[in-house]
Chain A
Amino acid sequence: MVIHRRSVLAGAAALAATRAHAQGGGAPIRIGLLHDLSGPFAGAGSVPLSVGAEIAIELFNERGGAGGRMIQPVAADSQSRAEVAINEAERLIGQENVDVVMGVYSSAHAVPLAQRMQAAGKILWINSAIATAVLKGKHFTNVFRPTVHSDQYGEGSIAFLAEHCQRTTNIAPNAFKIGIIHEDGPYGVGVATALEENANKIGMPIALKEGYSATAPDLSTLVTKLRRARPDAILQVGYNPDITLFLRQAKAGGLRTRMVIGHGAGYSQIDRLAETFGKDINHFCNVDPAGTQMLDPAKLSSQARELQQILLARYRARTQATDAPTHASMGFNNSWIFLEHVLKPAVLEGGGSIDAIRRAALSVDIPVGGTIQGYGVKFNPPDHELAGQNARSLAVVMQFEDARAKVVWPTAIAGGPPVMPLPADNAFALR
């Protein structure tokens, strides 16, 4: 799959031009789409995230927009750099006159952006950046995040291991050693902290916990230290250059373990990982919101099922991808939640003002199964410690097999039990 930055920008421009000519019931509504279309994050999921958002806008406009008012996206490239993200957000709200900025891949960008958008009195709709620190204790009124937050990754990962380690490895949770390695930005630190806290709660020993820079040219010393610590499972939180570097050096460095668990971002780019490592990543797990194709359609509402099919068909048509990455689902789903369930009622009932958007967001009440990623939507109110966070978001544990992923936790919605420990023929399995 090849998605060029220029094709993304051209797609957004064409979409915007089409909307400008659309016959509608009023002036178009301009929305800023802020993604990393260049730089390291572009290839680590941000481009599929932006494509998903564009498909949602395209579909929303085809269905009549918000009371006849079409959406006119204004695309911006944050170039995988926080200072560029802030400058672009300033441009969007100051020069492009948008009231809503949507997207945001990286938590390192989301932390300052959330402060800035709140101060400017505009709406920030976060589709991907998951660090709990973005919202925790901030009591923002203008920042909303429908997707999961990093604490849920920690809960999911540790609960999954605790549930399955005794049965599959004959090691009790309080003796099952884990190694936590993470990139050192807000995303990596947030998830790693949640992993540590959840492990400590159940007495699961941590053999090693260590951060590293996502642009580090070498991680072989980290591999050596993991070999010395001998964890039963390695839990990595990283983007993409660092994940492939680590796995390559881990294999060359003779690192063996019973399970490897990723936590979104780079691990969600299954096709990329499979292209690089082939069957070596079979039976690795990944914690993330579910990609829509991984869910049993029977467990989704009829509207969600229909949207699921539209997204998958359009994403494949646009990108020639064999499978839509999780970030495409996130981009589409979370944008659709905003457009259909927040913006539309805000325009119809409140004229589309920022106050009306805020009220509409806090009124959203979608039950579990009502979105294409399976989770429901109910945003925490401003007095909540995690104000603006979707309280019904859900992280699942999925397991890879031949470049596909299936849900293996929570057990209630799992497609089957996990393969654990890694089978003996896996390059990373204990011999």
Chain B
Amino acid sequence: MIQDLFSVTVLIGILASGIRLATPYLYAAIGETFSQRSGVLNLGVEGQMLLGAFAAFYVSLRTGNLWLGLLTAMLVGAVMGLAMAYVTVNLQAQQGISGIGFYLFGLGMSDLLFQKLMPTVETIRGFPRIYIPGLSDIPGIGEIFFSQNILVYSAYLLVPVAWFVLNKTTLGLKIRAVGENPDAADSLGVSVARVRYFTIILGGTLSGIAGASLSIALLNVFQQNMTSGAGFIAVALVYFGAWRPIGVLGGALLFSMVNALQLWVQVLNIPIEPEIAVMMPYVLTILVLVATVSRVRAPSALTKPFEREN
């Protein structure tokens, strides 16, 4: 019943689930943050994740080497990013729409490869949990924060790294300049095209890792359309987080924990219709957007192709 929600087991369970569920969102949304800060909306994240998930799983299954699998996923994501960059930067295609095209491509291609190359669903041993000595023994906290696998740790490590790169380095300055005022950046000798190529390919690579984190670290299985919309949620989280890595982290955790809460609500037999419970994370996202949006502004050049004035 409802008071059971506040027991220690449940709270630890929700936090631990939330931390794990947030991992793929973090990789994908941090990658998307980079490309949006440079002015490019990549709606193809879902497709990049699916192909990354399949590539990582298949290569790991066949070679037995998880790192090789992860590398392949990154490569696949990067190649899709490269294609996206060519289409949006050189050919100046509308970004949202071509992103949907890349999504459909990734969805169809991962399905095609899955059915051609694998006779049935298989499982592998993914990245093992790493118990951080000492810390993982702390009751509660240890289970939540210090006994996850390597891809979970590095996802959280990525947040401060991304913050540092965006805000404290020349590269970050260039990325922000290109996203806010490409004409000015261009006149100062920054290559808009080169910066955007970099961020889109980086975004693709991170989306590839996001897919891999599902298929070879968290779930250790590949199934048709297994990301189930996570890529689109990741794009939403970038808006939610107001284009800042720390905001993205908050959004990803909030979204995941509400999802985890929803699972517990059913397990504890709290009389809420499951379909209504499933809605909660999405309703919450909209509410938070309404509450925070007056204070933030999107990068000015977002979704606008750059064309040098002659």
A and B interact: no
- Tell me the B residues contacting A by CB distance below 8 Å: none
